[in-house]
Amino acid sequence: MLANEKFKYFVGINSLAEIATCKDRVCVLNILGNESRGVTPVSHAYSGGNVVFGTSPGRGGEVLETAAGPVPVYNNVREGLDAGHKFNVGVVYLPPAAVRDGVFELIRVNRDIEKVVVLTEKVSVHDAREIRALAQQRSVDLFGANCLGVADAWNHIRIGGALGGDKPEESLRRGSVAIYSNSGNFTTTMATYLTAGGWGTTTSISSGKDLYIHFAPAEFAHAFDNDARSKAAVMYIEPGGYYEQDLEFRKPVIACVVGRWKAKLTRAVGHAGAIAGSGDGAEAKEKWFQRILKVKGIYSPENPIVSQAGAVVTNIAHIPAALTAVMKLNGVEPDFPPEGDLTLKPWFGDNQGLPMPPELDLPLVEPFQPYKDQIAELTRQVGAVFPRESMKDRSGSSIMDPKTQVTRVSGVSILDTAKYPLASNYMLALIHEINDDNDHALFNCSVTVDVNLHGDPAIMAADAAREAGNAPNTVLAAACAVIGPRRVAGACQAAGVLIDLFGHSGLQSGDQADFDFSAIKADAAQLACLVGSTADPRAQAMLHGVEARGARSVFVDYLRSLDGHPSADAVRAAITTSICWSALMRKKISRITARNLPWYLRLAATIIGASVPGAQHKADSFCGVPTRELVSQSSATEIAYLALLGEKPTPENLFPFRVLLGLIISNGVGTISAQGCKGAVSADGPESPERVQINKAMIGFLTHTGFAHGGNGFEGIQFLIEQFTDSDLKDAGDPKHGLDLAGMGSRFALAFAAEKKARKGVGEGVRAIPGINHPVFKGQLVNKDPREVYLSHLFKERGETNVFHDFYSALVQALYDNGVTANVFCVNIDAVIAALLLKLLWPRYRSGAFSEEALETAAFTAFLFGRMVGCAGEIDDHLNRGRNMDTRTPASQCSHVS
């Protein structure tokens, strides 16, 4: 049955006023889908609650919350109808493959259906054909697909898509102009532009631009003609299809035809139907509209060609002026005074000090409301806010290059972190920037005080764990467990107070000289977080350190300026806030990170401190070195050396130790240690970041190391000891060691070959030689691990010798020369680490001061010191960006082994 005689096919809509009415009741398919979840609540509220229910198979019983009340969700349309709901409009948000069946469901199941709006993009032509045919058979008006629905500014109704965005009333102003647009976005954009000419809208239709346009320009022209509210229409038309060729209008129309350039393309970009065949390109369409609208050319401000029937434009910015000119000829004034204009108004900009010509150097313009207030509010926000996503097996902190096997932390290669001290690397992982000297000084003041755990339950827990025969990772985990949220609450709170007080003071850097903080006024509650009535010895020790080192900190100065005695927590917070201030202000890190920094520093100090038995922690000294001396002179790397080796380092010894720690900070997010700490964060729920226990995350890292991961560095040491045990080597750094390394290598190679043969004979596997060969760096005639090459150069440049490292180089050559290996294997990074560490420990081992067991503990602990850095970065990254429980593996990906 045809609804009207004008068409050879069914068209039910006779006036634009019938497209989105107050009587329409809507059912939304896939209402809980991603797009609908955001859009439907706005439509529903804007339209006074016109959605009666939605469907989502398997999720019946749920509701979609909206400002106009919850919308019930059923498994299918029939269930909704059975529950007593009635609707005449279907809205389809299904994925493309399901659209046809969805439309069929709406049409076949619901006798009352009159209109269906399909939002989905990329519906196949096959399905579009069948949808059209069924809708025709059953007398249903279709809109879309690949559209943004319809809206009526008079009725205050929006059906289907998101015309007008999240604030429809802002763009959809009541007026006299109907909009028909092949582009969903331009429907809203044109409505916005029209307000600049003083024009509001009646009905706006986003038609979509697939091959099949279900509500086509001919139907629009008919409905526009019959709509008394619409005095003019604006159409945005793209190439492709003959929909507009024979249109007839009795009221003025501005046709914007865009897409001449598309003639150059052989396929569509964006709008699937916007690709011309023969004779339906943009140029042809311009001509059609010129004929229909009785104009001899394209309108432009310079050449304003208009007629009473309308104008053709090729630039949407010209629509308001063209419309006003056409309507003037028809004696019709704009709907309201023009609002704003479309001139160029940059809200933000910067020339970066470069000389710009006037056409580029446009002065900035204040945003209009509500954006002005929003921007002011957001600008007040301190620090970055990161979008949350699943961080399982992903990291923003570290990345390993699979080709070179070199990991980068915060964008810096571990070959470079090997050159930086521990303090630098720790802050690099957390604030993504390398410390300067002032930051070093501040960092070291804090760590050197907190490393001493005299009288602290943390060292008691560690000692108890040590007594029980645990490996160092477990011992340190016991200590970390004691540095829980309550222990650091004061310092974190103080950091928060300092951020609040200085966040909008204009302070750009924590060490800014002569910063005037007289305008900073803390209230009583804030002051209570910063100062107390009695002097705190730890605070005084740190302040002494700051002074002795000549370190600058606006925040420390501020604390000193206050009445009362700064608390140790406040000084810790002042130190960390000073270091991170610049990164925080540039939104490189979040406020969460800045607030947690005292906790991270405390944990670093605890891990270093607790590696030494409690007996070494005295009221005024650590490992026999007076606290005053440590605080005013030592670096974190030196303290770590002291803790590990029991003596103060010489500069010659410190360098390789620093390299060692820097080299092992991370091996990428796939390592077990990284997975351990990330799992701990994920389980606490990073979406409530204040609840995440950073000490527990550190424990996660520690418990995810062990004799195989971290402790295995000892294998290399053991191997080297075996090789050198009969030598009379005293100093592994002495170039005149007098050893025949090539001979040693050859002897080992021959013995190894014999052993290999014997083992093969009895069917046993051949043992691997620790420190040589690598799954990636192999297969060449001579193989090199680039990390080892880099470090060899580094030491060579400094004129340093390491006899163990040299032995390894001789060994791989000897293995090849003696036919044990098919090519020259590489000396890998583990060998370098073993050589570095053994060189440091050798004198003590030889003197009998260190047993093999002590060597193993030292090797493992050194690994933990280094890896603590990378894991701190992973913890903070996951805390800022991860989702709750995002590291779990879905059951479907787990398998059972019988």
Partner 1 sequence: MQLTGMLYGAKLLKMVDFPTSEILGPEASEHEIKALIAKCGEVFVKPIFRGGIGKKGKAGLLGRAADLKTALKEKERLYFVEHRHGNVVAKSQGVTFEGAVPAEHEVYVSIADSTRYRAPTLTITHHGGMDIEELPKDQIVEVPFDPLTGLKSFVITNALSDLKAPREIISPLAQNLPKLWDLFHHNGMTTLELNPIRMSQTRPGSLTPIACDFKCGFDRDDPRVRRLNLPNELFAVDYSDFEQEINQLRTYQGQSDVGVINANGTILAPTFGGGANSLVTEFLGDDAIISSDFGGNPPYEKMRQVMRICLKHWLKQTNVLFVIGGKANNTDIFVTFRAMADALREYFSERGPTPVYVVIGRGGPNLSRGLLAFKDVVDSLGLPYRIFAYDSAMTDVVRYAQAADRWMKAGGRQMLAEKLGVAA
Site residues (CB under 8 A) for partner 1, limited to 85-104: 95-97
**Segment interacting with partner 1, rule: CB under 8 A, options 270-278, 493-501, 546-554, 735-743:** 270-278
List binders of partner 1 among 329-348 (CB under 8 A): 340-348
**Segment interacting with partner 1, rule: CB under 8 A, options 13-21, 370-378, 496-504, 521-529:** 370-378
Q: Does 508 bind partner 1 (CB under 8 A)?
A: no
Q: Which of 13, 81, 253, 316 binds partner 1 (CB under 8 A)?
A: 316
Q: Does 263 bind partner 1 (CB under 8 A)?
A: yes
Q: Which of 47, 183, 526, 576 binds partner 1 (CB under 8 A)?
A: 183
State in angstroms the smallest separation of the CB of 661 from partner 1: 24
State in angstroms the smallest separation of the CB of 240 from partner 1: 8
- C-beta of 122 vs 778, nearer to partner 1: 122
Burial class from Cβ neighbours inside 10 Å (0-12, 13-18, 19+) for residue 872 reads buried
Q: Does 35 bind partner 1 (CB under 8 A)?
A: yes
Name the one residue in this structure whose structure tokens are 């000289």: 513
Name the one residue in this structure whose structure tokens are 């890190």: 589
Beta bridge partners of 91: 28, 117
Over its C-alpha atoms, the chain yields an Rg (Å, rounded) of 37
Give yes or no for a contact between 401 and 409, defined as CB atoms under 8 angstroms apart: no
State in angstroms the smallest separation of the CB of 128 from partner 1: 8
Q: Does 286 bind partner 1 (CB under 8 A)?
A: no
Angle (deg, nearest 10), helices 457-467 and 472-482? 150
Size of the site for partner 1 (CB under 8 A): 112
3-state secondary structure of 40: helix
HEC string for 552-573 = CCHHHHHHHHCCCEECHHHHHH
**Segment interacting with partner 1, rule: CB under 8 A, options 15-23, 73-81, 179-187, 421-429:** 179-187
3-state secondary structure of 612: coil
- C-beta of 315 vs 725, nearer to partner 1: 315
Q: Which of 56, 182, 444, 673 binds partner 1 (CB under 8 A)?
A: 182
- C-beta of 241 vs 710, nearer to partner 1: 241
State in angstroms the smallest separation of the CB of 400 from partner 1: 14
| Angstrom distance (rounded) from CA 181 to CA 852 | 80
- C-beta of 152 vs 280, nearer to partner 1: 280
Give yes or no for a contact between 159 and 151, defined as CB atoms under 8 angstroms apart: yes
Within 13 A of 815's CA, how many CA atoms are on the CB side?
Answer: 22
Q: Which of 53, 212, 299, 724 binds partner 1 (CB under 8 A)?
A: 212
Q: Does 189 bind partner 1 (CB under 8 A)?
A: yes
List binders of partner 1 among 348-367 (CB under 8 A): 348-357, 359-360, 362, 367
If we measure between CA atoms, which residue out of 501, 505, 481 comes closest to residue 493?
Answer: 501
Q: Which of 269, 513, 519, 524 binds partner 1 (CB under 8 A)?
A: 269
State in angstroms the smallest separation of the CB of 162 from partner 1: 4
Q: Does 266 bind partner 1 (CB under 8 A)?
A: yes
Token pair in block for residue 144: 């879309």
Burial class from Cβ neighbours inside 10 Å (0-12, 13-18, 19+) for residue 63 reads middle
User: Which ranges of 59-165 does DSSP label H, i.e. alpha helix?
Assistant: 77-82, 96-109, 125-137
Contacts of 753 (CB under 8 A, 6+ apart): 818, 819, 820
The contact mask relative to partner 1 for 399-428 (x = CB under 8 A, - = no) is ------------x-----------------
If we measure between CA atoms, which residue out of 244, 243, 237 comes closest to residue 259?
Answer: 237
State in angstroms the smallest separation of the CB of 99 from partner 1: 10
- C-beta of 174 vs 588, nearer to partner 1: 588
**Segment interacting with partner 1, rule: CB under 8 A, options 16-24, 189-197, 287-295, 605-613:** 189-197
Give yes or no for a contact between 268 and 274, defined as CB atoms under 8 angstroms apart: yes
- C-beta of 50 vs 146, nearer to partner 1: 146
**Segment interacting with partner 1, rule: CB under 8 A, options 252-260, 712-720, 791-799, 827-835:** 252-260
Q: Does 270 bind partner 1 (CB under 8 A)?
A: yes
**Segment interacting with partner 1, rule: CB under 8 A, options 108-116, 518-526, 581-589, 711-719:** 581-589
If we measure between CA atoms, which residue out of 218, 98, 659 comes closest to residue 421?
Answer: 659
Beta bridge partners of 566: 531
**Segment interacting with partner 1, rule: CB under 8 A, options 45-53, 175-183, 687-695, 761-769:** 175-183
State in angstroms the smallest separation of the CB of 888 from partner 1: 19
- C-beta of 402 vs 469, nearer to partner 1: 402
Burial class from Cβ neighbours inside 10 Å (0-12, 13-18, 19+) for residue 305 reads middle
Q: Does 267 bind partner 1 (CB under 8 A)?
A: yes
Quote the strand ranges of 491-604, DSSP E. Answer: 531-532, 565-566
List binders of partner 1 among 107-166 (CB under 8 A): 120-126, 128-130, 132-134, 137, 148, 161-166
Q: Which of 387, 402, 761, 763 binds partner 1 (CB under 8 A)?
A: 387
Chain centroid to Cα 788, Å, comes to: 33
| Angstrom distance (rounded) from CA 836 to CA 831 | 8
List binders of partner 1 among 452-491 (CB under 8 A): none
- C-beta of 158 vs 867, nearer to partner 1: 158
Which pairs count as long-range contacts for 778-786, CB under 8 Å and 24+ apart, including other chains?
A: 778/823, 778/825, 778/826, 779/823, 780/823, 781/823, 781/824, 782/823, 782/824, 783/823, 783/824, 783/825, 783/826, 784/826, 785/405, 785/826, 785/827, 785/828, 785/829, 786/404, 786/405, 786/406
Token pair in block for residue 710: 């971290």
State in angstroms the smallest separation of the CB of 383 from partner 1: 11
Q: Which of 329, 382, 384, 548 binds partner 1 (CB under 8 A)?
A: 384
List binders of partner 1 among 214-233 (CB under 8 A): 214, 216
Q: Does 870 bind partner 1 (CB under 8 A)?
A: no
Within 13 A of 524's CA, how many CA atoms are on the CB side?
Answer: 0
- C-beta of 63 vs 384, nearer to partner 1: 384
| Angstrom distance (rounded) from CA 641 to CA 514 | 37
Q: Which of 14, 75, 226, 314 binds partner 1 (CB under 8 A)?
A: 314
- C-beta of 35 vs 500, nearer to partner 1: 35
Give yes or no for a contact between 834 and 710, defined as CB atoms under 8 angstroms apart: no
Q: What is the DSSP letter of 706?
A: B
List binders of partner 1 among 746-805 (CB under 8 A): none
| Angstrom distance (rounded) from CA 462 to CA 474 | 8
**Segment interacting with partner 1, rule: CB under 8 A, options 186-194, 457-465, 636-644, 768-776:** 186-194
3-state secondary structure of 386: coil
Q: Which of 65, 169, 389, 687 binds partner 1 (CB under 8 A)?
A: 389
Torsion, CA 701, CA 706, CA 708, CA 710, rounded to 10: 60
State in angstroms the smallest separation of the CB of 286 from partner 1: 12
State in angstroms the smallest separation of the CB of 137 from partner 1: 7
Q: Which of 72, 144, 198, 241 binds partner 1 (CB under 8 A)?
A: 241
- C-beta of 408 vs 678, nearer to partner 1: 408
Beta bridge partners of 118: 92, 144
Contacts of 524 (CB under 8 A, 6+ apart): none
State in angstroms the smallest separation of the CB of 338 from partner 1: 12
- C-beta of 60 vs 367, nearer to partner 1: 367
